[in-house]
């Protein structure tokens, strides 16, 4: 008997992550030719107005959204109260309802593990990416302001 994981995309959808992602990205205005090259082996980047770059990638049958920021640990510590406020705001369809922050090679990144429920409807995917973008934009605005 096979045990199905509610967290596995492959076990809970009749479409591939690539198909769902392509469809939703096209609906938010990403050119179809750009989405055709989305191979799930490397992240796809969407640059929104204001320069916020949201990355979409798949790892271990799970979908991640993430954005990198060129900031220092000192900037994090200086703005910790405001950053904590951003990190505790809900993000639609993130597994923990929140983004996390982590160190990367060029500074820090905000990231969210996305709930597989969004693959049942393209509009849920769009809502998830819009919510993540809003959080990333608030984070960038905080850094630009300080």
Backbone φ/ψ region at 18: left (φ over 0), alpha (ψ -120 to 50), beta: alpha
Query: Hey, which residues does 102 pair with through a beta bridge?
Result: 109
CA angle 125, 24, 22 (to 5 degrees): 125
Query: How buried is 31 (Cβ within 10 angstroms: 0-12 exposed, 13-18 middle, 19+ buried)?
Result: exposed
Q: Write down the pLDDT at residue 50.
A: 74
- Encoding tokens for residue 100? 């996390």
39 has pLDDT over 60: no
**What is residue 145's predicted lDDT score, i.e. its pLDDT?**
65
Model pLDDT, residue 5: 65
Q: Quote the pTM value.
A: 0.82
* Residue range 122-146: mean pLDDT, rounded: 88
List, in order of start, the domains of the chain with CATH numbers: 10-145 (3.30.1460.10)
Residue 44 is predicted with a pLDDT of 78
Tokens of 131: 């919510």
The answer, yes or no, to whether residue 131 has pLDDT greater than 90, is yes
In this model, does residue 146 exceed pLDDT 90?
no
Reported in sequence order, the residue ranges of 6-119 that DSSP labels E, i.e. its strands, are 44-47, 53-59, 62-69, 100-104, 107-114
């Amino acid at each position: 008997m096979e045990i199905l994981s509610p967290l596995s995309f492959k076990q809970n959808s009749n479409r591939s992550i690539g198909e769902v992602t392509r469809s939703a990205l096209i609906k938010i205005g990403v050119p179809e030719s750009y989405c055709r090259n989305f191979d799930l082996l490397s992240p796809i980047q969407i640059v929104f107005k204001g320069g916020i770059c949201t990355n979409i990638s798949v790892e271990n049958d799970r979908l991640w959204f993430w954005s990198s920021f060129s900031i220092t640990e000192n900037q994090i510590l200086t703005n910790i109260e405001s950053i904590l406020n951003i990190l505790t705001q809900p993000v639609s369809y993130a597994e923990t309802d929140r983004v996390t922050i982590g160190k990367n090679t060029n500074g820090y990144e905000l990231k969210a593990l996305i709930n597989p429920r969004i693959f049942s409807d393209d509009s849920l995917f769009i809502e998830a990416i819009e919510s993540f973008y809003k959080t990333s934009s608030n984070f960038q605005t905080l850094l630009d302001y300080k």
